[in-house]
Amino acid sequence: MIQERGGRELKIAVMAGTPVDTGMGVLLLRKDGFSEMIEIPVSETPAEQTVFQVSAAEHKERVINAHVDNAEKQECDVLFVYCNSLSGAVDFKKISEERNMRIVTPLEVYEEMALYYRNIAIISANAQGLAGIERVMFSRNKDIVITGVTLLEMVKEIEKGTAPCEIAEKFNFSGLLEYFRAMGSEAVVLGCTHFPYIREEMERLADVEIIDPGIRMAEKVFGKGSRDKGKL
């Protein structure tokens, strides 16, 4: 059991774009020893979530605040936003300050990552996610070189449970990685929380580092220290 101060077990609200990546966030935290969690999928499908992310800011805040109300009623201590594009589409820092609730998002990890790399590739689900990652990286390192690719169709294949080896062939991982190498990328970031599903396939083909930000996110829930380059 992982305890908060006072001996009470830390309770986490896991929020993501769909039920699938919400469940992935829960599994990730269970590996780190967390057990008290509730699941908050914002949408039912990746396409529905993309539409939500490009909707009016007032609408998005209203929906997210309603979910935070639910999390508070269930006495959650932390909101764990396990979705890159959702984190970039909603101002969670503002919500955290207004609601006085600890919120962990992937964007915190990208702020740190920008200090360790000069040239990096990012694979995200959609342009909302990619824009959010670019924004925080450039805010910390104006000289960083970013090569970005969006693959919403790959998210849909993951949601369907397509085998990772089939996904690797369908989306031409070999060609994609060759392109990143040609761009001088030092590492490839899995900029969507669905993508750890295909991490092993990508690592098998890659000769550069493949980074899963979710690992560092899990550490941030309990305030663990930063990791060195190559261990994010």
What length does the chain have? Answer: 232
Beta bridge partners of 121: 147, 188
Residue with tokens 């959650």: 76
pLDDT tens per residue across span 103-119: 999 988 999 999 999 99
Q: What are the strands of the beta sheet with 78-81, ordered from one edge? A: 36-41, 11-16, 78-81, 102-104
The whole model's pTM is what?
0.79
Q: Are 94 and 101 in contact (CB under 8 A)?
A: no
Query: What is the average per-residue pLDDT within 204-229?
Result: 75
**Residue 153 reports pLDDT greater than 50:** yes
- Angle value at C-alpha 128, between 147 and 157, nearest 5 degrees: 85
Q: Whole-angstrom Cα distance, residue 183 to residue 191?
A: 18
Query: Confidence band (pLDDT; 50, 70, 90) for 165?
Result: very high
Q: Are 90 and 61 in contact (CB under 8 A)?
A: yes
pLDDT at 105: 92
**Residue 5 reports pLDDT greater than 90:** no
pLDDT tens per residue across span 57-89: 999 999 999 999 999 999 999 999 999 889 888
